[in-house]
Amino acid sequence: MIQDSQQQAYDRAITIFSPDGRLYQVEYAREAVKRGTASVGVRASDGVVLGAYKRVPNELMEAENVEKIFQIDEHIGAASAGHVTDARKLIDILRREAQVNRASYQEPIGTETVVRRLCDEMQKYTQQGGVRPFGVSVIVGGIENGEPRVFETDPSGSFYEWRATAIGENSAEIRENFEANYEEDIPTDEAVALAYEAVEESNDDITPESFEVAVVETDDECFTELSADEVRELVE
């Protein structure tokens, strides 16, 4: 009984490490991310591609209200997987940091800088009592000094830069597809098709209409969402 009560203490409290050095609540937050539909990020030779599978649970629901990809600044976008409400909170933080930087320094914020500030905020929720970690991961892609960059955040507050990555449902399978098919010099139009095909292999019911895509190209450094017809054309 004593051992069970100790196990529950490690299990329920975010501020207590287990004897083997684990924070169970952070691990549970990662499991919440895995239950969300997949989102991907691909660094192309001439930009960044963000893709997300939108699963609409009911035919009566307006599909446009299911958001998985967000504009952060003119040159930065983000895609999420996990709890939608947690994602909305993190997107607000990203947008605020981008706006504050423009107002303070009259220049766009760096992609790595905005990700670092977001993860600083996420990390606070892993060491304070009375709160829980964010049950969401975010892929942030943008152009920094003329170069495309893609980052992935973790509920623990850590982040990593990737050439191609995936979060959410079947993310391991999608990454394996990227490892087999990704090339450094891939252009954005082919990156869109690569992202779609990687997600399609692990989700049979996906269609171009349910796959949300945004591109940030190095030429204009402008965040642009593609229509379903544009996605279908690139895939075909």
The answer, yes or no, to whether residue 232 has pLDDT greater than 70, is yes
**156-194: pLDDT as tens digits:** 999 999 999 999 999 999 999 999 999 999 999 999 999
Threshold 0.85, pTM exceeds: yes
* CA nearest to 151, candidates 230, 58, 42: 42
- Please report where in the chains the tokens 């969401």 appear, as a residue: 136
- In angstroms, the CA 71 to CA 120 distance is 20
Domains, the chain, in order of start with CATH, read 2-235 (3.60.20.10)
Give percent of the chain above pLDDT 90: 74
DSSP 17: -
Q: Are 40 and 212 in contact (CB under 8 A)?
A: no
Number of neighbouring beta carbons within 10 Å of residue 93: 18
What is the structure's pLDDT at 7?
56
First to last CA, the chain: 60
Beta-carbon contacts of 207 under 8 Å, excluding residues fewer than 6 positions away, are: none
Q: Give the strands of the sheet with 47-53, arranged side by side.
A: 164-167, 39-44, 47-53, 211-217, 223-225
Q: What is the pLDDT of residues 123-166, one digit of tens each?
A: 999 988 888 999 999 999 999 999 999 999 999 999 999 999 99
Q: How confident is the model at residue 108 (pLDDT cuts 50, 70, 90)?
A: very high
pLDDT digit string, tens, across residues 11-23: 767 778 888 888 8
Contact partners, residue 95, CB within 8 Å, separation at least 6 = 72, 73
User: Using CA atoms, how far apart are residues 5 and 16, in angstroms rounded to an integer?
Assistant: 13
Closest to 45 (Cα-Cα) out of 205, 218, 207, 162:
218
